[in-house]
Chain A
Amino acid sequence: MKFPKINFDDMKNEGTGSVTAHERRKFLKLGLAIAGVYAGGKILSLTSIVGTAHASGGTSIVKRYPYNPHYSMVIRQSLCIDCERCVDACNEINNVPEYGYRTRILTKKYTGTLDKRVEFIPVLCNHCNDAPCVRACPTKATYKDPVTGIVRMESKKCIGCKTCMLACPYDARYFSAERHAVDKCDFCWEERLSKGDTQTGCSSACPTGARTFGNLTDPDNIVYKLVHQLEEQIWVLRPADDTKPNIFYMKGNIRSVDNILNEQKFKYFDPSNV
């Protein structure tokens, strides 16, 4: 097959005058979207919004969240000091028996690193948008709350087959003999949120702000700001299971978060300040 030869050097420059404003906007948007994919590829595939690039828009994206308020938690891993106050608060508020837990803190050790040797990873129910436990339950005893997206339990329907405990890729469930049902984190809906509180037990007990709880649909909310940015990488646990979790993780050290919360005003590296 032969291609016609075009001599670009001899062609006349059309200029940008002939490009309509609409077309230009489309092009720029595309560029941003691609940048979003590139820089924040992990976010894109993992956050609850399917198939949108966060970088490309403001309010229009908010509407795409399936719930409102869409409760979510961002865990800033560098800030966790394993004081376990969140676990204690959770146990107390939700009457968790001593053989069970709704949340816990995992320890990851490193060798050969210069800055730190250990990291703590708080884990809890991920309130997945495609929750495997909800699909597995034979009696709809566990369900996605249609308003908030919280994965909740209707204890009286639980037959105790324990399929949900095995379906959960986050080990977020245990069988509570006291409730005669499987028990799990409900973002403190029963004990706090439904009574007007805005924070969960664990997030308000956290002394360092490692657990940041909020509404992912509200652009003023810290959770929204932490998720909708490209500077810091955000990830979720076990992404391969494709459950679209609502617990996001980031390193989230103070300086970078500060940057994000100050409307992402980019600070140039200034050696004199170090």
Chain B
Amino acid sequence: MNGRMVNISKRWGFHGIEALKNASPSYKITMGLFALLALTGAAIGVHGMIVGYHHVYGVSRQVSWGLLISTYIFCVVTSTGLCIISSIGHVFGGEAFMPIAKRAVFMSIMFMFGGFCIIFFDIENPFRMAIWNVISPNFVSNMWWMGTLYGMYLVFMIVEYYFLLEQNHSLSRLMGFFGLVVGIAAHSNLGAVFGMLHGRPFWYGPYLPIYFIFSAGMSGGCAILFFTTLGWKINPEIMNQRMERAIKAVTQVTIFLISVIIFFTIWKIITGMVSEGKHLVIMSFLTGDYAINFWVFEIFLGMLLPLFLLIRSRGNNFNLIMYATGLMMVGIFFMRYDIVIPGQIESVYHSLGVVEEAKLLTYTPSFHEIMASLFGIAFVCLAYFAGEKILNGHQLEKHEIVPEGGYICPGCGAIHFMEEGETEEDAMKRHHRIW
């Protein structure tokens, strides 16, 4: 039994529950707090479910999607983004991106579970969904495709992760490819869940499905940088030359994608200002109720500050990257909120000019909604901290595709190539100029 365990741990980089037990007290306290938060959130969510959501949630008839949906979207956008960015390496063979794959796929799965945790407390009859989604499918419904595609995506990602751990590269690559295709379909379809509601001009159109994909890429890059640099704080051993190179590459991609999203946002605002249906909502971003969300969180924390800091970090300054991307995660959260809620604040009868709907609608998240959202977020955090220990910082366990004649340097983790008649040790010495 003992021997078998050792064998598995070697193969999978699995350090077991032992690693958790050996963690520092502050680490345990952090994990304990997240576990407590997740449990409390779940308990309060269940309470809401029992007493009836309409008593405890802030959503109304007209603003019927609230904080829970926006947090769900935050989670699934990040999950898809992690999949997209990591696929550059382990699906498309971008060597620089390979070392991030394991952590990215692991977190992608956890974010997806986190999203499902949250939407469980938003859907009024989640148990019916399992039955009727299967036996009474509506193939023209984006909502149906969302459930189906994200379900498939999760399965592909889990299988891919298994093969990554198994170091079966051809299968993990194949599964990664399917996961990516289904993930992109699922995610752009999520944009279409909003984009095809033609009674809601703020959402309607092809903008959101396209925006969601690029935005996911940005979130994914940000999340990888944040979780890797945070992992480096927890376990400095994970950094080696290959990982440093990967961080640099991801930083570059993230900088590019932030710029893309800035461009998207500028045109959303400018076109919205001259559109009858969007004007009021856009003005509430610029000067109204959502001005702080928009300017402080979405624009400053979500885009401008990280753009500046990431450029300054040059991809080498891990502390700076960690703070920049940590703040960016907060900004991105508000970015999602600013898609979901403002799309509903203009009543469908506003344009009729009636007294009842003359004002924009308001929405404030209730305590129950905040706690049920925190359930999902805390679950993701808990999974992250547990994963860093149990899976030994997602370290390289020769799980990348190593070209012919090359090997992974035990010292730096980079791929080295042996010259003829050279041993691995000689090659390492040569590479690192140890003579």
Contact = CB atoms under 8 A, between A and B. Distances in A.
B355 A107 contact: yes
A123 B352 CA distance: 11
B62 A171 contact: yes
Interface in B198-225: 198-200
B124 interface: yes
A241 interface: yes
Contacts of B349: 106, 123, 171
Contacts of B132: 138-139, 141, 157, 159
Interface in B24-65: 52-54, 61-62, 64-65
B126 interface: yes
A238 B54 CA distance: 29
A257 to B, nearest CB: 23
A171 B52 CA distance: 22
B144 A138 contact: yes
A107 B354 contact: yes
A65 interface: no
Given A139-B137, A158-B128, A159-B132, A106 B143 contact: no
A136 B141 contact: yes
Interface string A104-128: 0011110000000000010100000
Contacts of A135: 138, 140-141, 196
A138 B352 contact: no
Given A139-B133, A159-B129, A238 B354 contact: no
B124 A160 contact: yes
Interface residues of A, number: 41
Contact of A159 (B61, B128, B344): B128
A158 B352 CA distance: 30
A162 B119 CA distance: 12
Interface stretch (A41-49, A173-181, A226-234): A173-181
B79 interface: no
Contacts of B16: none
Given A132-B199, A159-B129, A170 B348 contact: yes
Interface string B383-414: 00000000000000000000000000000000
Contacts of A141: 132, 136
Bin chain B's interface residue count: 35 or more
A138 B348 CA distance: 22
A100 interface: yes
B61 A174 contact: yes
B193 interface: yes
A171 B140 CA distance: 21
Contacts of A157: 128, 132, 136
Query: Which of B126, B138, B355 counts the most chain A CB atoms within 10 A?
Result: B138
Interface in A18-53: none
A140 B352 contact: no
B125 interface: yes
A108 B353 contact: yes
A272 to B, nearest CB: 39
Given A159-B129, A167-B197, A175 B64 contact: yes
Contact of A107 (B52, B129, B344, B356): B356
B347 interface: yes
Contact of A108 (B142, B199, B354): B354
Contacts of B124: 158-162, 175, 180
B147 interface: yes
Given A121-B352, A168-B199, A180-B125, A137 B138 contact: yes
A81 interface: no
A163 B143 contact: yes
Interface in A148-191: 156-163, 165-171, 173-175, 177, 180-181
B199 A136 contact: no
Interface string B344-365: 1001110111111100000000
B60 to A, nearest CB: 9
Given A99-B54, A159-B129, A171-B349, A165 B354 contact: no
A237 interface: yes
A158 to B, nearest CB: 7
B31 to A, nearest CB: 33
Contacts of A161: 122-124, 129, 143
B69 to A, nearest CB: 9
B141 A137 contact: yes
8 contacts: A106-B349, A132-B198, A135-B138, A138-B129, A159-B126, A162-B64, A168-B348, A177-B54
Given A100-B61, A166-B64, A171-B349, 15 more contacts: A107-B354, A135-B141, A138-B129, A138-B146, A139-B138, A156-B128, A157-B132, A158-B124, A158-B128, A161-B122, A161-B124, A169-B348, A175-B61, A180-B125, A242-B198
Interface of A: 99-100, 106-109, 121, 123, 132, 135-141, 156-163, 165-171, 173-175, 177, 180-181, 237-238, 241-242
The 8 closest A-B pairs by CB, nearest first: A160-B124, A169-B199, A138-B144, A139-B132, A138-B143, A106-B354, A159-B129, A162-B64
